[in-house]
């Protein structure tokens, strides 16, 4: 398609190209100096109290998080009913049961301590929260709730690198946090992710899970630091390569400015869309909350045919998306997940539409999207 306004565009230039070339010239392709620098700079970015482990994608990060938490058959894991399917899939891949919790309200599309607590049972082992669209969940009550019930708290921070709550970064509240660097995320490397934790024994488990449970890696052997290895636990290969880590370092240096651009564009959207008959979630953000403005979700009017709006926008070469189709519409989850589990989300899902948002978008493009949406309605 020859879009006039795409949903998302990469923010890449000669710096990413040079970073890739440098790796190609270096003769070392995986788990080397770029990866460890990316990990330490990412930890610094999060405030320096966590450790980051670069992985192949956020789905791998989520899977490892559940494995490191000991989630297994017979356990329940509470997740949001409004998130990407990866959150449900990794729970199933561990043999555990998916339990959906509802959003707080039609304005706050995040889980809250209240909506989570109503789903806790003696079998609840872990909770995965999502900072939807980059807007932080109200974390302090959620952290306290999980402590009270001895439940492991995992942050799916795929939407929220750089978001914060009273100065504390999203991704540093939970026991483990998972970031995605998929192409269309705020920090893009193609396929990549980061798993983040503080507890040394969790970190050790995560490192083993990433790399076959091995005590030393080929880079250590290359450096002459060791010539053999032991295997401490069964593990996987969920590593990131040096090319992606090098792109990640450049993208990390652009993240703060990129998120600021997203904020400015979101404010223009809010102002312009306040004049038409739609609503935008997270209109009333608590003070101290800083979003990463990952996407621009809106809620169409009750009586509106979303399919027609999407088609109209497409006819005008404007790309839109849906975040997310409900789990209960998917074959694999039809029996396990029901709309009744999430009354608020079942109102949101059929009416949600995502408009284009990316750091290099112009004000004119925002206006074009809004004008076209108004015509469509
Ligand atoms: C993108 C995304 C994921 C998966 O990330 P990958 O890196 O593609 O595996 C998980 N959860 C949410 C909320 C996402 O947006």
Active site residue 185: yes
How high is the mean pLDDT of the chain?
A: 97
Least confident stretch, 211-225, 273-287, 330-344: 211-225
Question: From the CB of 160, is ligand 1 less than 6 Å away?
Answer: no
Q: Looking at the chain, which residues constitute the CATH 3.90.1150.10 domain(s)?
A: 255-376
CA distance linking residue 353 with residue 367, whole number of Å: 17
Phi (first) and psi of residue 241, to 5 degrees: -100, 170
CA distance linking residue 364 with residue 377, whole number of Å: 20
124: β partners: 76
CA distance linking residue 369 with residue 375, whole number of Å: 10
In this prediction, residue 219 has a pLDDT band, given cuts at 50, 70 and 90, of confident
* CATH number for the domain running over 255-376: 3.90.1150.10
Element (H, E) at 347: helix 343-348
Atom number, ligand 1, closest to the C-alpha of residue 193: 7
Q: Looking at the chain, which residues constitute the CATH 3.40.640.10 domain(s)?
A: 14-252
CA distance linking residue 106 with residue 62, whole number of Å: 27
Give Cα 23 to chain centroid, integer Å. Answer: 27
Interval between CA 274 and ligand 1 midpoint (Å): 30
Spell 167-187 as b/e; 16+ CB within 10 A means b: ebbbbbbbbbbbbbbbeebbb
Is 3.40.640.10 the CATH classification of the domain at 14-252?
yes
CA distance linking residue 204 with residue 256, whole number of Å: 30
Q: What is the pLDDT of residue 11?
A: 96
Atom number, ligand 1, closest to the C-alpha of residue 59: 9
pLDDT, tens digit (0-9, with 9 covering 90-100), for 78-108: 999 999 999 999 999 999 999 999 999 999 9
CA distance linking residue 51 with residue 44, whole number of Å: 9
Spell 87-107 as b/e; 16+ CB within 10 A means b: bbbbbeebebbbbbbbbbeee
In this prediction, residue 259 has a pLDDT band, given cuts at 50, 70 and 90, of very high
Interval between CA 249 and ligand 1 midpoint (Å): 19
Interval between CA 181 and ligand 1 midpoint (Å): 8
Nearest CA to ligand 1 atom 2: 158
Instruction: Give the angle subtended at the CA of 279 by the CAs of 3 and 269, to the nearest 5°.
Output: 50
């Amino acid at each position: 398609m020859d879009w006039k306004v795409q949903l998302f565009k990469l923010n890449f230039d000669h710096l990413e190209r040079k970073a890739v070339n440098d790796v190609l010239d270096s003769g070392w392709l995986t788990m080397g100096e770029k990866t460890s620098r990316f990990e330490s700079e990412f930890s610094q970015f999060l405030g320096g109290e966590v450790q980051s482990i670069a992985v192949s994608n956020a789905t791998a990060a989520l899977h490892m998080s559940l494995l490191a938490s000991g989630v297994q058959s017979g356990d329940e894991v509470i997740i949001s009913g409004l998130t990407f399917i990866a959150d449900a899939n990794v729970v199933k891949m561990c043999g555990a049961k998916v339990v959906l919790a509802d959003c707080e309200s039609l304005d706050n599309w995040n889980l809250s301590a209240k909506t989570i607590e109503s789903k806790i049972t003696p079998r609840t082992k872990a909770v995965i929260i999502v900072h939807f669209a980059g807007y932080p969940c109200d974390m302090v009550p959620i952290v306290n709730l999980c402590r009270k019930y001895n439940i492991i708290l995992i942050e799916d921070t795929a939407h929220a690198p750089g978001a914060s709550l009273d100065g504390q970064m999203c991704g540093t509240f939970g026991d483990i946090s998972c970031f995605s660097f998929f192409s269309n995320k705020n920090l893009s490397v193609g396929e990549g992710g980061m798993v983040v934790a503080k507890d040394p024994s969790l970190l050790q488990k995560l490192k083993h899970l990433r790399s076959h449970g091995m005590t030393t890696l080929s880079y250590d052997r290359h450096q002459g630091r060791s010539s053999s290895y032991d295997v401490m636990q069964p593990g996987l290969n969920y590593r990131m390569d040096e090319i992606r880590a090098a792109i990640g370092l450049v993208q990390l240096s652009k993240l703060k400015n990129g998120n600021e651009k997203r904020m400015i564009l979101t404010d223009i959207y809010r102002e312009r869309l306040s004049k038409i008959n739609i609503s935008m979630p997270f209109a009333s953000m608590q003070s101290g909350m800083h979003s990463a403005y990952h996407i621009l979700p809106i809620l169409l009017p009750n009586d509106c045919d979303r399919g027609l709006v999407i088609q109209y926008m497409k006819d005008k070469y404007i790309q839109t998306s849906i975040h997310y189709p409900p789990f209960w519409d998917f074959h694999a989850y039809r029996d396990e997940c029901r709309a009744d589990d999430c009354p608020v989300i079942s109102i949101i899902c059929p009416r949600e539409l995502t408009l284009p948002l990316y750091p290099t978008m112009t004000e004119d493009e925002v206006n074009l999207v809004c004008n076209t949406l108004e015509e469509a309605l």
